[in-house]
Structure formats: structure tokens, C-alpha cells
Structure 1
Amino acid sequence: MVQAIPKTMLALRQHAPVPEDALSDPEKIKQYVSLETVPVPEPGPGQVLVKVSRGSLNPNDLYHIKGVYSSTFDYPYPRGMGFEGAGVVVASGKGWLGKLRQGKGVSFYSKNGLFAEYVLADAMQLIVLPEAVGFKEAASSVANPITGTGMARWAKQSGSEYFFITAAAGVVATMTMRVARSYGLKPIAIVRREEQAEVCRQEGASHVLNQTDPDFQEQLAKLCAEVNCTYGFDSIGGHMPLTLMRAMPQGSTLCMYGYFDTGPMQFEPQKLFNGWKVDYFETEYYLASLSLLSRYRLSREVVNNINGLFQPRIHKTFALKDALQAYTYYSQNMTAGKVQIVADPSL
């Protein structure tokens, strides 16, 4: 029996950027974010309405809530929150594809505010789920698997058998290492704490270095020279790019895949003018660079392996009404595994 779509729904809405020091206290976040009753949106041409099962928190959610995420920097307030999730298509606007998707379980990425009971999504960008894939796994099947696959492909294309990656115990990094190993590459994991090193060893890292060691730059330089590592990923920013590029052989490429430090990044012109390169990986732009057929093949590769190679580590779940606690918890436990916000536990 088809359920009637209500006129209103609960949705997380943000009214101003959240200061860094407020993230550690849900009561402080309440000054900027609230769970509100709002109208259920109507899908336009090429769009569908998804009844949300759950969504996942990713680093870009923290950038977004702080108002520094480059892809939504100019989005006006009040605005929605949440980008990645899964649910069931319950209505569609004009277009044959949306109508074909009705009643289907899907995973998707949307900038329309996914932490809500219903959300609009682009019918072209939905990943239809096989019956064997549940919403719990599917809600983490877009951002990290596709990012990890794309980054691993870039590392493979570089021609370097070895590559390093910072924040290596994080979900994106472990996914990247997992896929890269299937391509025959050898990851060098860079971590901040010893307990993170064991996570990386379990993921098959060839070497693990601790960036807090006083001689970290010397260790990395020696290792890069020994194994001819000419490619690396960094998501820390700030002073770290300078440290990493100083350790890399001439002609190497450093690829930024994030910026935990949202301030200026440090580079040396002497490096950039003498053969070293800096690149930037952003999932949305990576997907836009692919043909429709390539995007479709990538999405099927991911979803067909979500219970295997791309199996997410689901660490903790929160109800939609407890979403602010989820943000605080995730900001303090980003490497523990996926944190999800559940809109409808019956799905």
C-alpha cells in the first residue's frame, strides 16, 4: 500500500555559521541550528522526492556547518544540512527516469539538505540499490567509496607504485588504501596517534609513519627516496603541505583531498617552480569529469561491492531529533567509523 505524502516534515535547518568552539557542545550548536517543521518539497522536472531512511556524516558536513565548505560557501541561510544518504523514492516530477525510480530503494548525494524526513534529489544521480544492500550500508555508499575509488585511480595514473596519505585512519583514507591495494599499489599511511597505526596496518598499509615524531619529515624523505614514492595525498592543510613536499623527490605531485586546517596552506615557490606539482581532488568535480556511461559504471561497481570491498564501518547512529549530538560526536571521533543520522528507523 502506498503511503500518503504528508504536507509537512521535520528537517534540520541552519541559520548561521557555527563557530569552531561551539561544535563540542550541542547546546551551543542550538544557537545556530534547529530541527524545524517545514513544508515537504515538491519535485520539479528531472527530480524525485525521497523518503529518507538515514544519512551519513562526512568531513564536508563539518565544513558546511562552519560555513567554510567551498561547494556551499555562498548558500544563503537558513539552509538545509546533510549530503549523503539512502531512502525510497515516493514521488517524481516530470521525466520518464524519475517515474521509473518510484518505489525503488536508492542511495544518493544531494545539496538540498538530506537530514530531513524527505528530500529532493536529481533522478539522474540516484544509485538504485540491489535487494541484498540495506539502507544502513547504502547510506555510506556514495561519498567515501566513490572518493576512494577516484583517488586510487589518480594514484594509479601517476605511475608511482607507492603513494602516501595523511589522516590515514579516516574513512576516506582507508577506503582509498583498500581500493589502491586492489590496483596493485602500496600505500604509506601517515597518522597522528599510535592506535591509528594499527587500523592502517589492518587495511594493508605498506608502511606507517607518525607525523608527531620529531624526525617525521626526515623519515618520510628517506622512505620516499628508497621506494621512489612520487605521489601523495593530504587532507590536513596548513603547514603540512610544506612538510610533505619537502620530503618528496623532485617531480612529485601532492594532491589535496581536504583541509582540516581551514586557514592558508603553506607551499614553497622554489618547489613549485622546479618540478613539484599540487593538485586537488574533489568528488563532485571528479564525477563531473566523467561521461554518463563512466559514472554509471562507477556507481554499479560501488554498489555491487558495498558488502565487500566498500563495506563501511558503521560506528554509531543517532535519531534525527539528536542530530546536534551527532555533529558533536563526529567532530571528536572522525576516525572511529561512520556516524549516521536516522530519519526513519522503519526503513
Structure 2
Amino acid sequence: MMRALAFDKFLPDPKPFIKEVPIPTPGPGEVLVKMEAAPINPSDLNWMKGVYGIKAELPAIGGFEGAGTIIETGPGLFTSFLKGRRVSCIAAPGKSGTWAEYMVTKSHYCTKLKDHFSFEQGATFFINPMTAQMFTEKISAGKHKAAIQTAAASSLGKMMVKWGERTKFPIINIVRRPEQVEMLKNLGSMYILNSTSPTFKEELSDLCKILQPTIAFDAVSGELTGVIMNAMPDNSIHYVYGALSGQDISGINTRGLYFGNKLLGGLWLTSWMQKKTPFELKLAIGAVQRNFGHTFNSEITGRFPLNKYGEAIKTFKSNTSSGKVILYPSQII
């Protein structure tokens, strides 16, 4: 048996609980990972609320990503070579999550963790860094010269800030608090706007005229999406990948869409990864590995044993721009 952080109801305020369940057995092409560290992400809580793109089959074990050691493998041509490997991993749909002492997942949902990285660092390899990689591929494929991002003070947002500064690619970074402006200045960002400022719309319009950003990555949605789209130049595309505002998109100038040839689209990491061939996915993971630990790295703001999950979730909710909160599934204090 093993301990896991499970949930059996979809609630606006998730109520997970510690549960003892049988240790899963890996099937063909699968591996059993002894979990050492797993972060709390917004997508984890949305899944527990029942508002994520993949519906959980209740009861379910939470956690989408983490790191640990492969201790058992199922039948497969290459899986037996993976036993004993330290890995970053993501949960497979329909399987157990990472907030547990052990997790079964597909072997190709694991990537080797380099020796100089800790389990804690490796636990945050997939969701934010791979999303940043997805963004940079979209920028490159569209030959865009500048971009806009919302939620720029988040862990993902700060990765894009560092990538933009390293590659000299201009990004207009939108935050919502003065202290977040200072935070991004300290990272070297040149273009930072506070969406709560009374002059925000004018400042955004002026920067769009100067930098001509033709791609946007939006985690907020709501009225802010309309404000950004209206300010962007013709022939631009605005990707929505989150809804932190809790609101539907509003305020878009409809005539600006068709006269300006502007596009509004959705972007979801899971779908993006599923559309890639195994070779393309391997290339993307390799690109993340080259940036991991410096450009695509996450700060840690809290560390908790599994049974302190209530305190961990509370810390996560109150410090979303400070860094990651990590659960240690094998620790019970």
C-alpha cells in the first residue's frame, strides 16, 4: 500500500485528503516511479475543481508533474533499461498522479534527470519550461519580432522574461502590482506595464506602436484580452492559455478583427505535446534541457511533506508570483 493525496469531489475550493491505496503495477510500456518531489500548479487545482481540459475519473490522485526514481518497469523493448534512473516525469491520463509515494506513467513521459539537478529542481521540468518552449516555437514559426505576455510575474512569465533578455527578443510584460514591476526590472526586463495603472491602456497602445508585437500569450483572459487585442497591430495573433481572471473574454473590437486580420486562438500544452511526433517531442525536451537550470528555472517558495498539503495549498495561493510550492510525497511528518 502507499499514501496518496486524493480527491473524490469537484469543488470550487478543492478538498484533497490523504488516502491509502494499492501501489500500482506498470503495464506494457509503463514504469513505476518512486516520487520524491512534486509541485503544485494552477492546472492541478483546476483539475480538482473539474474545470480542466481533461476530466478526472473520481476518486483521483492529484499532481501532474514531479520527479523521482524508476523502481520497476512493465513489458517493453526499452523499458527494462530505465530501472534505477532518476527522472522528471508527468502523469499519464487515466493513471495515478504525482502527489503519491509511487506513480505509474508511460515510459516516454519521463526524461532523465541530470546528475547535478536535485529531485526538487527536476520536479518542475515539464509544465512551465515546456510551455515556455511552446511559446518560443510559436514565435519562431511565425517570425514574430515582438510579443506580449500577461501574468509576467509568474514562474512561467519570469522564464519568458529571461529568455527574452538572453535572446534580445522584446516582450511587453504585463503584471498587476507595483512590486511585480520592480521584480521584473531586477530580472532585466525593459518593457513592463501594470494593468491596474490608470494609464495602462495608453502605455500599452504606445508600446505596441513602437515594438509592433504580433503575438500575445495570455493567462488572464476576461476584459484584459480585449484591451490587448485592440492595441495590437494588424496581422497579429493572440493566444489564450489560461483564465486567471475567472472571466470570459470581453471588449474585443469586432471590426478590428476582420479589418485588421487579427486572430484569437487557444493554446494548451497537452494538445501541443500530443500533436508532436516522438522525434519532435524529443527535440523539444532537448531544447528545454539546454535551458533548464538557468533560463527555464523555477524558484522554490515552500517545501512541505505530503500530510501538510493544506498548508502547502494555502502557501501556493498566497504566493503565486514568488515561486513554486513543492510537496514531498514520501515524507510524512
TM-score range, shorter chain: over 0.9
Residue aligning to 1:169: 153
8 Å contact from structure 1 (residues 50, 118) kept in 2: yes
8 Å contact from structure 1 (residues 13, 36) kept in 2: yes
Distance 2:289 2:313 in 1: 26
Residue aligning to 1:9: 2
SS in 2 for 1:50: strand
Matched, 1:79 2:79: no
Distance 1:292 1:301 in 2: 14
How many residues in Structure 1 have an aligned counterpart in Structure 2? Answer: 327
Distance 1:133 1:304 in 2: 13
Q: CA deviation at 1:181?
A: 3.5
Q: Which of these residues, 110, 124, 127, is aligned with residue 140 of structure 1?
A: 124
Residue aligning to 2:141: 157
Matched, 1:288 2:271: no
Residue aligning to 2:17: 34
Distance 1:156 1:190 in 2: 21
Residue deviations 1:303-341 (CA, integer Å, cap 9, x gap): 344332223211111110111221222122111001110
**Equivalences for 1:1-347 in 2 at 5 Å?**
8-19=1-12, 22=13, 32-70=15-53, 72=54, 74-111=55-92, 112-266=96-250, 267-274=252-259, 275-344=261-330
Instruction: Give the letter for the 2:9 counterpart.
Output: A
Distance 1:319 1:246 in 2: 46
Distance 2:331 2:284 in 1: 29
Segments of structure 1 that go 5 or more residues without pairing to the other structure are 1-7, 23-28
Residue aligning to 1:25: none
SS in 2 for 1:95: coil
8 Å contact from structure 1 (residues 130, 304) kept in 2: no
Distance 1:192 1:249 in 2: 23
Moved more, 156-165 or 135-144: 156-165
8 Å contact from structure 1 (residues 137, 306) kept in 2: no
8 Å contact from structure 1 (residues 254, 279) kept in 2: yes
8 Å contact from structure 2 (residues 302, 315) kept in 1: no
Q: 4+ residue runs of structure 1 moved beyond 6 angstroms?
A: none
Distance 1:131 1:178 in 2: 24
Instruction: Give the letter for the 2:21 counterpart.
Output: V
Distance 2:140 2:173 in 1: 16
TM-score for the superposition, normalised by structure 1: 0.89
Q: Please provide the CA RMSD for this pair.
A: 1.8
Distance 1:239 1:44 in 2: 47
Moved more, 284-293 or 192-201: 284-293
Moved more, 42-51 or 307-316: 307-316
Q: CA deviation at 1:345?
A: 5.4
Distance 2:284 2:227 in 1: 34
Q: CA deviation at 1:96?
A: 2.4
TM-score for the superposition, normalised by structure 2: 0.93
Distance 1:147 1:342 in 2: 24
Q: CA deviation at 1:139?
A: 0.5
SS in 1 for 2:180: helix
Q: CA deviation at 1:244?
A: 1.0
Q: CA deviation at 1:41?
A: 0.7
8 Å contact from structure 1 (residues 152, 177) kept in 2: no
Q: CA deviation at 1:178?
A: 2.1
SS in 1 for 2:153: coil
Distance 1:263 1:98 in 2: 44
Moved more, 292-301 or 127-136: 292-301
Residue deviations 1:149-185 (CA, integer Å, cap 9, x gap): 2112212333332211111000111112222444431
Instruction: Give the letter for the 1:157 counterpart.
Output: A
Residue deviations 1:87-135 (CA, integer Å, cap 9, x gap): 0001111102221111100001114311000001110121011211211
Residue aligning to 1:26: none
8 Å contact from structure 2 (residues 100, 330) kept in 1: no
Instruction: Give the letter for the 1:95 counterpart.
Output: G
Segments of structure 2 that go 5 or more residues without pairing to the other structure are none
Distance 1:56 1:284 in 2: 17
SS in 2 for 1:301: helix
Structure 1 pair 305–163 and aligned structure 2 pair: CA distance change class (3 A): closer
Structure 1 pair 153–128 and aligned structure 2 pair: CA distance change class (3 A): same
